Amino acid sequence: MVVLALQACEVVHTSSVDVRDIGFVTYHECAQLMKELQVQRINDEISDTLLLVEHEEVVTIGPKARRDGLMPPLDYTTIEVDRGGGLTWHGPGQLVAYPIFKWGGTNETSVKSIIAQIEQWVINALAILNIEGQRDERMQGVWVDGKKICSIGLSFLRWVSRHGFTVNFETPLNRVEDVSGCGLGAATTTSLQKLGYAVTRTALMEALIHSMESSISRRPNMRIENVQSKTRG
């Protein structure tokens, strides 16, 4: 789901992406950083920037969840956000990618096409790790073995995106599973580890960077080597 604040503009793409692995950062701190970077990207003060991060546990509540009166169980910390969608769990063992990108290329003429590109990007990254990711008609995102492991939620201003997508690789037992996110029942969303795939944060991050250019026509400004493979548990 997406909150739109799109204005028509002529977009001149840069060919590279500044990839920043900023480690563990609170959601509040990252939200403020995203806002600052979005303004800088709109003004062409920076190139497209990808933030890679993990958060302490928090459930973000989007406009749809607020309209529908949805809340996680009482033992979850929550924060209201301005991206589209419902409830999204964040926490350890989840890689969050925030693309502060100026979209508008040939295959980026609508929000739907941008979401589709991000889905394919995640699917291609999982393929590097010998994991088959798929789309599912129940909800946008990426699914593995019938379970959702990737959520996508963006907001836009002048075609520059904020917020992003998550990939659950090794989340704490039942924490993401107990949150009914985006209108889906509890236990629909899970992690790769719970499905039997052992994937490290580094391997997942490198797979996303390695597949960036072929998936979304942007070149990371670093060289990635020795991408790890998953093992089946």
Beta bridge partners of 233: none
Please identify which of the residues 9, 30, 150, 182 carries the catalytic annotation: 182
- Let me know: does 156 contact 118? Beta carbons within 8 Å: no
DSSP 182-203: TTPPTTSB--TTTTTEE--HHH
Active site residue 9: no
Coil, strand or helix: which one is 108? coil
State both tokens at 59: 């459930």
Distance from C-alpha of 222 to C-alpha of 7, rounded to nearest angstrom = 32
- Let me know: does 117 contact 123? Beta carbons within 8 Å: no
Per-residue burial over 57-86, b = 16 or more CB atoms within 10 Å of its CB, e = otherwise: bbbbbbbbbeeeebebeeebeeeebebbbb
Catalytic residues: 182
